[in-house]
Structure 1
Amino acid sequence: MLHPVMIRTLIVLLMLLQEKNDPAFAPVTDDPKLPRVLLIGDSISIGYTVPVRKLLEGKANVHRIWENGGPTSNGIEKLDAWLAKGKWDVVHFNWGLHDLKYVKDKQQVPIEDYEKNLRELVKKLKGTGAALVWCSTTPVPEGDQRPVRKSEDAPKYNAVAKKVMEENDIAINDLYAFALPKLKEIQLPSNVHYTPKGYQALGEEVARNLQAALQKK
């Protein structure tokens, strides 16, 4: 019988392989009559991209960055390139799960640097003129995980992000609060990722927040 840690490792490897051929990365042909939406985020956002596209079909051209957004440090390096694919009406964005994860007993991006990076990223995003929607980092479940993440860190990073967004008058899609009471039904066991049913639920909440942002444009 496989050890539980090995099983979780295999699940993560399978997810990484699936990302390469994920329909979330399929090219989008814009309808010029519709607004353009950009999704920025990690594998959680990859999982809800297709549901969001289907839910907003005929209402918006929904694009996403062509990769896993990773931590804020990756955003600092690549945001200009991600934004360069035309004018955006709404940008829905998140960083967090890769910032708070532990690499060799240290968080990949300590919370002080996370705040600093977020402020720089928000400044660039505001320069686009798009309506901005911050998506809070989704819950980290209890239990042993690889890479190591701790459930208590997500609320701490979200609190920092909330402060930055409120100071900049940016709308917040609190996906953490949305997902938390439903984790047993929608999240994989001892894993930050979600079941197909879970990604559909997240996608519905993201689409609802995007529609609200589009109505204000």
Structure 2
Amino acid sequence: MMLPRRSFLKQLGTLTGLALSSSGFRGQSAPKLPRVLILGDSISMGYTPVVKQMLEGKADVSRPVENCQGTKLGVQRIDQWLGTEPWAVIHFNFGLHDLKHVDPVTGINSNKPDDPHQSDLKQYEANLKTIVERLKTTGANLIFATSTPYPDLPEGPYRKAADVLEYNKVARKIMKRNKIRINDLYSAVLPELSTLQLPNNVHFKPEGSRFLAGKVTELILSTISS
């Protein structure tokens, strides 16, 4: 004897673990995941796809399509990057572009040590404060990532390895003053730098990006679950 269609569907739902009742199946969507925004330069562009994978089903991770570069661009674009929807967590970093040297006339990357930084320490501090104040208005949980280390005088724009310490020091003071969590990627990756980073470069191998993604994911998870 054939079962009525409703009874058949009910039994099928029981067997498959699905709620097929008219009130529980139709018209209901999965709970919204916490929205996470990642802001940063090409280092973050390397680890963001892996963070998205690691947080699949736990958070909705996004980042701007473009490279967020340094604080000068950050001040200009921060409103655009934030958009109008609320964020649960914003993980951000600025530094590696600020400390590189640029042509004083054109602003184009320079390999000359006598040319100025894109943003000197004073300007970096002022710009970062402006960005932080804007981020605080979102009500999101904020996490600042320290800029990652690199060998002295890597390929590309002129960068001294010691400069990243000074820029991170300025950033730390701002974050501590504003009670913002710090993700110390600098210290985390430093012991493994020779194996995780590309030779004579500021960028990382795929395994380096995965390593950084693990550190980023860990702190984001602890933030959204607290």
| TM-score interval (norm. to shorter) | 0.7 to 0.9
Q: Which residue of 2 aligns with 1:67?
A: 66
Assess if the C-alpha contact under 8 Å between 2:153 and 2:159 holds in 1. Answer: no
The question of 1:200 aligning with 2:199 is answered: no
Off by >3 Å, runs of 4+ in structure 1: none
Aligned AA (2:119): V
Q: Which residue of 1 aligns with 2:13?
A: none
1:145 Cα offset (Å): 2.3
* Alignment gaps of 5+ in structure 1: 1-30
The question of 1:128 aligning with 2:127 is answered: no
Query: TM-score by structure 1 length?
Result: 0.83
**CA distance 1:140–1:33, change in 2 (3 Å):** same
Q: Deviations over 1:47-91 (max 9, x none)?
A: 001110011111000001121001101000000010015110000
Query: TM-score by structure 2 length?
Result: 0.80
- What pairs up with 1:29-108 in 2 under 5 angstroms? 33-104=32-103, 105-108=115-118
1:106 partner SS: coil
1:144 Cα offset (Å): 4.3
Aligned AA (1:204): G
The question of 1:157 aligning with 2:167 is answered: yes
Aligned AA (1:84): G
1:154 partner SS: helix
2:191 partner SS: helix
Aligned pair partner of 1:210 in 210, 217, 220: 220
The 2-side partners of 1:103 and 1:119 are apart by 22
1:213 partner SS: helix
Q: Which residue of 1 aligns with 2:128?
A: 118
2:97 partner SS: helix
* Alignment gaps of 5+ in structure 2: 1-29, 104-114
The 2-side partners of 1:167 and 1:145 are apart by 35
Aligned AA (1:124): R
